[in-house]
A and B are shown apart, each in its own frame.
Chain A
Amino acid sequence: MADNSATRPAPGKLVLSLRGISKNFGAVSALTDIELDVHAGEVVALVGDNGAGKSTLVKVLAGVHQPSAGTIHFDGKPVTLPDPGAALDLGIATVFQDLALCENLDVVANIYLGRELNPLRLDEVAMEVRAWTLLNELSARIPSVRDVVASLSGGQRQTVAIARSLLLDPKLIMLDEPTAALGVAQTAEVLNLIERVRDRGHAVIMISHNMEDVRAVADRIVVLRLGRNNGVFYPDSSNEQLVAAITGATENAVSRRAGRRQAEPQT
């Protein structure tokens, strides 16, 4: 699939550059020869059908999975991400699809997990203040940051997970389905937040199935299909083009459905 680039403003510094990334789980190749560039101040949306490899790619970049082949350049230097701590130290923060929160700990402890202030005598007050600041920036409605995460709703947990990713002021932030569990206002807040993070010069990778959200904030839309690159699009690309790239055919369930819809009122 061709890169249908029109004239675009020059992107910022190259933050992340993937070349030939592959990941095999036994006989299954979840990712094959993935190429991806992300620049500072840019929101890249990763789209694709279920099983396209989006979450696997995010987990590779978060240090959860190790790639079977390929190179990762971060900030111009080749890097390896042997564990999640290495990714966090480089400045890659991730909001995972399953959120990865500890339900038995309270909100403050989750936000600061592994990064607590004052390791030998935890500074609970400073941590609580910062937690409230982060959550207020997200317009989060958390009743109390001293409640365990188990007592929060899905949307509240999502905001906690996002707040946690912002804690370290990362260079690259990856959000796997960030708006899936959110209400209307919170979705808008998360999209605003993504824009704010971008405007501060950070790079953002966002996975979403919601094309409306993707078009609203993405500067580039990278399509994955069956673990391979399947084209790069821009928010002004037509929906048909995008869907065709995602499903791999111009003739697909979505287009047939749209055709039926159009045909019905006429008969």
Chain B
Amino acid sequence: MSEGMNEGAAMSQDMQGSRAPAASAASLLDRSDVRVKHATGIGGSVSAFVDRVRSGDLGSLPVLVGLVIIWTVFTSLNPVFLSADNLVNLLFDCSTVGVISLGIVCVLMVGQIDLSVGSMSGFASAMVGMLWVNQEWPLLAAITIAVGVGALIGALYALLLNRLGMPSFVATLSGLLAILGLQLYVLGTSGSINLPYGSPMVNFGQMMVIPAGASYLLALVPGAVMLAIGLHTRSRRMAARLSAATVGGLVTRCVVVTLLFEVIVAYLNRGRGVPLMFGVFLALAVAMDYALTRTRWGRSMNAVGGNREAARRAGINVNRVYTSAFVLCASLAALGGVLSAARLASASQQAGTGDVNLNAIAAAVIGGTSLFGGRGSAYSAVLGVIVIQSIASGLTLLNLSSSLRFMITGAVLAIAVIVDSLARQSRVTHGRA
């Protein structure tokens, strides 16, 4: 690419642009069509946002509204819910299922499903327990083996789909049973392996928080990175005669985001602090978001989920995309299993059974990832899992049985899917889907 030349031309145009911003608007490459309205200023941005929501492009708005409602209800029933210590516990619990849910986002993205993530996480925790505690392997080796086995199982699902055309729904359903069997086999007759208290792994799962000073510094990072990338993109876009965000808008966003993160961190630091495990989960989510939106691999994931045949005809190796999605999903499920073993300080027959599977899938869907492929984001796993764990935590505080928890989580999932399909219909009538 003639990068250097572009940048050079950029400079001169940049200077012209700053001298006569009004005159340059008409000559912008992407603003020549007079039929299209463009938002200008903060008022314009707000009304553009309202238009977008009206046409069904909801983004993460429903889950944020839902979260506010859930938190309001639980706080009014029991004020302890919103206490810093409870929220810290909530974040510890979010991290394990959240990591699994990140993997689910990957497979949903390409229009597939993995129903065996619960069993996979349980099997991974059993493997770590067996290798690390019983066989006295180094901890990292045990974790690597567990995640590696997850990757192999994911590759097997992809092989069954690509070579034999076995629908992932069935392949992973049989995987659910088979892996559960492996988990029970590894655990043997005792049925559970306790992980030693005081070991780094259990400390990580139960106690470790980001030091207060570091947490305040880390909370500055998202806003600063947003601002830096925003300014860089702005100068490149202006150089290329494309419309660009205003400096004011970028700074406003940076300030709002930074304040939000600092307030959250300050509140959590009134309790035990920000769980290190949640930090790891967030870092994974950010990495996943980058991979899905800013790399060729992410583009092909979106394309395969949106229109498999079109992606194939564009020269994308669809089988390889499926393989990457399944491998990533099963590996993250295994990692989630390791984290939950650390959280519970044990690897038992119950690990990964029951609601882990469906919670992980529900979290991705509640967060706004489509079950039909081609729409979704890594952050949907973060938001969705916070919703699900909030319900669980709130009902535990109210001393209500898990029967009610299942019913309410089910209802929230149903509402999330209803909102999604209503929004989809609205997008169709507004010509956005």
A interface residue numbers (CB < 8 A to B): 62, 64, 83-85, 88-89, 94, 96, 99-105, 109, 112-117, 119-126, 128-129, 132, 141-146, 148, 150-151, 164
Contact = CB atoms under 8 A, between A and B. Distances in A.
B185 interface: no
A151 B432 contact: yes
Nearest to B298: A122
| B241, B294, B314 pick with most chain A CB within 10 angstroms | B314
B263 to A, nearest CB: 31
15 contacts: A64-B312, A85-B317, A88-B314, A100-B313, A102-B311, A104-B302, A105-B302, A113-B314, A113-B316, A114-B314, A125-B242, A129-B241, A129-B242, A144-B30, A144-B36
Given A125-B240, A128-B240, A102 B36 contact: no
B29 A102 contact: no
A64 B302 contact: no
B33 interface: yes
Given A103-B307, A125-B233, A113 B299 contact: yes
A143 to B, nearest CB: 4
A126 B242 contact: no
Instruction: Output the residue of B240, B295, B307, B309 with the most chain A CB within 10 A.
Output: B307
Nearest to A119: B296
Contacts of B352: none
Contacts of A64: 312-313
Contacts of B405: none
Contacts of B175: none
Contacts of A109: 299, 302-303
A57 to B, nearest CB: 16
Interface string B283-297: 000000000001111
A249 B333 CA distance: 66
Interface in B265-315: 294-297, 299-300, 302-303, 305-307, 309-315
A40 to B, nearest CB: 23
Contact of B303 (A105, A123, A144): A105
B302 A102 contact: yes
B313 A96 contact: yes
A102 B295 contact: no
A104 B111 CA distance: 13
B35 A100 contact: no
A143 B36 contact: yes
Interface residues of B, number: 39
Interface in B9-33: 29-30, 33
B306 A102 contact: yes
B253 interface: no
Contacts of B98: none
A100 B311 CA distance: 8
B240 A105 contact: no
Contacts of B433: 103-104, 148, 150
A164 B30 CA distance: 18
Contacts of B307: 100-104
A46 to B, nearest CB: 19
B373 to A, nearest CB: 8
B314 A100 contact: yes
A125 B374 contact: no
A103 B432 CA distance: 9
A84 B36 CA distance: 36
A99 to B, nearest CB: 8
B431 interface: yes
A96 B307 CA distance: 14
A241 B279 CA distance: 75
Contact of B432 (A102, A113, A146, A148): A148
A129 B240 contact: yes
Nearest to B2: A126
A92 B199 CA distance: 60
B310 to A, nearest CB: 4
A105 B299 contact: yes
Interface in B414-433: 427, 431-433
Nearest to B237: A125
A110 to B, nearest CB: 8
